[in-house]
Amino acid sequence: MSDLENTFAHVLRSLAPDLAHAEREWRFHPTRRWRFDFAWPAQRVAVEIDGGQWASGGGRHATDADREKLNAAAAHGWRVLRFSREMLERDPAACAEHVRRALDYPHGEAV
């Protein structure tokens, strides 16, 4: 687990200890090797931690390969939340609240 993923896990343990345990490195696609950093498969909610956004070219999260992964996830009914280091450091409570709301939100129900 990366330092940033450890930070996210700490945020959840500290600010949302009542949430269901997240699966780590969850493989969501039946044929591709794509994995989510954190996943709640029963609710089809996932979290991707976007490190390296300041890397040259935006890092791997600014590539078409990453967009292809997220599009496939959406096509398979997943809701994927993405958090950067800055988001986790600036407002960790908001990050935990986004996860809480996604997990509480009935799958497929309109707003």
Could you give the CA distance from residue 88 to residue 86 in angstroms, rounded to a whole number? 5
Q: What are 33-88's pLDDT values in tens digits? A: 999 999 999 999 999 999 755 445 455 556 788 899 999 999 999 999 999 999 99
Q: With cut-offs at 50, 70 and 90, classify the pLDDT of residue 111.
A: very low
**Exposure on the CB side of residue 110, measured as CA atoms within 13 A:** 0
Whole-number Cα distances in Å, 37 to 24, 78, 85, 88, 98: 6, 13, 14, 15, 16
Rounded Cα distance, 10 and 13, in Å:
5
pLDDT computed for residue 105 by the predictor? 85
Among candidate residues 42, 47, 55, 44, the one with its CA nearest the CA of residue 24:
47
What's the pLDDT at 55? 46
